[in-house]
Structure formats: structure tokens, C-alpha cells
Amino acid sequence: MKFIVINGPNLNLLGTREPDIYGTTTLVDINKELVDFAKTLDDNIELSFFQSNIEGEIVDKIQQCADFSGLIINPAGYTHTSVAIADAIKGVGIKCVEVHLSNVNNREEFRKNSFISPVSTGTIAGFQKDSYKLALLGLYRLLK
Ligand code: DQA
């Protein structure tokens, strides 16, 4: 089973970016931990990773995802603004889990709105780096 993990803007700064909210682990290390976690689930899981600060690049990448079994996406700030990313997920018809490191529901009011939730199978938020593992676990179990 092939999954792609897409991270949006400013998540390349993880490790030093607002560590009290997002934790101290870098994105590179979060991705490594996810690869190790995937192996504990199933040796046949393949993970690909993509990060961009640019909305159009994320849309382009999603459009190339048709041959993946599922998408794990942390759209970061674009969660709350991007019709284009939501349309791309819907257009490709890929199963998708929306991920957030922080609990977007107990922060500022504007973070409670997500354009991505309506096109996602589920959302995991608030478990810092473990949000990605929980998303992979959920998606894998749904699809297997
Ligand atoms: C985030 C939450 C978003 O509101 C924020 O803009 C981010 C990160 C999270 O992972 O908690 O950049 O998606």
C-alpha cells in the first residue's frame, strides 16, 4: 500500500517554530518516525513525502496522487483558506486524512474552520507528532 504525506507552509520550520504548540521535533525526524511506525503495521507500506510553502505546488502534487492508496495531509495555514486544495483532493478522489499537530479547535476562532475536513475521511488533531502516526493507523486499517 502506497501513501503520500503532504505538509503545507511553515512546517519546514518544525523543531524551532512555536515549540510549545508544535513540539520540538523537526519535520525530517517526524517523517523518519512515521517510516518506522509504518513498518510495525505492515512491511508493504510505502511512504512518500512532500512539503511546500506554495499552494499551487501542493495542488499540483495532489493531482499526481491518483496511484496512491491514500493521502495524509497537514495543510497548515491553507487548512483555513484553501478552496483549491480541497477541490484537488475531491477532484482526484483520493482517500484523505487531515492532520494537525495542535488542536485547532481550542485555539483562535479562525482555526476552527477547515476547507479540508469536508473532503477528508477523518481528521486527527492535537497529538503533536503522533497525529501523523494516528492518521496512518486509521487510514491503513480502513483500507486493508
Ligand atoms: C497546523 C494548524 C494550523 O492552524 C496552522 O496554521 C499550522 C499548523 C497544525 O499542525 O497544528 O501551520 O496545521
pLDDT at 3: 98
Domains of the chain: 2-143 (3.40.50.9100)
Which residue has 496511484 as its cell numbers?
67
* This prediction's pTM: 0.98
Nearest-angstrom CA–CA distance, 138 and 133: 9
Q: Which three cell numbers stand for residue 72?
A: 495524509
Give the ligand 1 atom nearest the CA of 131.
10
pLDDT at 14: 98
Which residues are tagged catalytic? 22, 100
Does the Cβ of 123 fall within 6 Å of ligand 1?
no
Q: What percent of the chain has pLDDT over 90?
A: 100
Contacts of 124 (CB under 8 A, 6+ apart): 97, 98, 99, 100, 131, 134, 135, 138
Low pLDDT (below 50) residues in the chain = none
Is beta strand 70-74 parallel, antiparallel or unpaired with respect to 2-7? parallel
Instruction: Tell me the per-residue pLDDT of 70-101, one tens digit each, with 9 for 90 and over.
Output: 999 999 999 999 999 999 999 999 999 999 99
pLDDT at 47: 98
